[in-house]
Structure 1
Amino acid sequence: MGDQTMLRVALWVFLVVVFLVAAGLLVGCWWVIVRPVVTEAVRARRAGDWWLPWLPREDGGWGPLTANHWWSAMRAEQRGSTAGLAVRWGFWVLEAVGLTFGLGYALWGLARLLVLGVGGL
């Protein structure tokens, strides 16, 4: 195998590894944000109580949509108005849809870059 062939193979491997790492980071971000929204929506629907994700749990803790410092503004000690519920779910649905669209767009862009990079070899 010549030097130029080895360089092409090394560059191809590098591009694939970069693609896989970037895709893994993007999917990881999606998994951390969108998956809890979906699981909490399923849990609330099964229980028939859409306020469930925003209320304290039986053990006194909070669910994944209200557990950390930044999202604690979504917490509710008791069931509130329909508008309050709509704001909470609206924020998280928009967040989930936006991240899903962004993930698809970013993966599409990464795949295009990979094809261009490999095709240029």
Structure 2
Amino acid sequence: MNYWLVKSEPDKYGWHHFTEQGRAVWDGVRNYQARNNLNAMRLGDQVLYYHSVTNPGVVGLATVVREAYPDPTVPDDPRWVVVELEPVLAFYRAVPLARIKAEPLLANLALLRQSRLSVMPIRPDEFELILKMGQQ
């Protein structure tokens, strides 16, 4: 199993939008590295859902329910792909970016090294720590 973090602006597609829909096609990715990460996602992989811009932080847990396929929003451009995600768990308390930055065990988190990347892998130990922080 792999672990990932995806970012979304809460005003555009926040956790509440995601849970109301119950399933999301993760589209609109136009960065090659993020696209490669979408291609690497496998059925059942666990995904941390991060709100960016406004009150940045991890707010929930999702799972990959459909692996990468061509992005239907750009049918004439085969370079781009989407995956489908379903919400699993809303965090009891969001894990704010400031808390993530303050945690020495998360110093190498991709979120801190490549802050503009919208889809990124995370290590199992980072995933477990953030999950634990969200349940406290």
TM-score, reference length from structure 1 = 0.25
Higher normalized helix content (fraction of residues): 1
Greater Cα radius of gyration, structure 1 or 2: 1
- Flag the structure with higher strand content: 2
